[in-house]
Amino acid sequence: MKQNTKKPLSYSFFYWGPVLCKIKIPPADLKKFAKLCTKKESFVNEKLAGVIKHEHYISSQKFYDAIDPHLISFRHCYNQWYGESLTKKIKIDTTWVNFMVAGEFNPPHIHSNCDFSSVLFVKVPEQLKEENKNFLGEGMGPGAISFMYGEERPHSLYSKVFFPEEGDLYIFPAALTHFVSPFLSKGERISISANFKLE
């Protein structure tokens, strides 16, 4: 069969749905975030959807000081996605740390009373990495984070699934449904979540 070498007509395609931004935090900066992770602060469990024993408030101001240099990347991502600049001030509303172990999970949920949410993975145990690598099932694997928008339909993307690595920071609209799958392996996965308001 003769290959078609004709040039395609010019065309346009359109991004659809909410922005989902992933930023890789350098190891040196990740150490600053790791120092914020403690079980000494008060529990936040009663206000969260997660089935996680240790979820604790941490200093929003210290978190903001650490993340502020990286918000320029989010602003650039926002501009690329929506075709307009994010000119409003980004203010941290609430910040907490999740110490997740075997059998714990976050069911599908959204965040309320804020504009954007984020999760930064500070520590991922080696045992969990192996468990996910050896996963033979379909769909999301152990410890995966999933984002869903709309309904599953032919020729449409309605979900994104990631196995988090240390230093992965996800920023997304607070009303974007997301959840974290449980895992079986030993070890403690540490992540920091924060809600943002635009002013």
User: What pLDDT digit, counting tens, does each position of 105-151 carry?
Assistant: 999 999 999 999 999 999 999 999 999 988 887 777 999 999 999 88
Q: Name residues whose C-beta falls within 8 Å of residue 88's C-beta, 6 or more positions apart in sequence.
A: 198, 199
- Tokens 């920091």, located at residue: 192
Tallying the residues shown for the chain, one arrives at 199
Residue closest to 89 by CA, chosen among 75, 76, 77 = 75
Q: Indicate the pLDDT class of residue 157, thresholds 50, 70 and 90.
A: confident
Q: What is the pLDDT of residues 164-193, one digit of tens each?
A: 999 999 999 999 999 999 999 999 999 999
Token pair recorded at residue 164: 């988090």
57-116 pLDDT, tens digit per residue, is 999 999 999 999 999 999 999 999 999 999 999 999 999 999 999 999 999 999 999 999
C-alpha R_g of the chain: 19
> What is the Cα–Cα distance from 89 to 175, expressed in whole angstroms?
19
Task: Assign 1 a pLDDT band (cuts: 50, 70, 90).
Answer: low
Q: Mean pLDDT in the chain?
A: 93
Write out the two tokens for 162.
């990631």
Which domains are present in the chain? 21-198 (2.60.120.620)
Give the model's pLDDT for residue 2.
Answer: 67
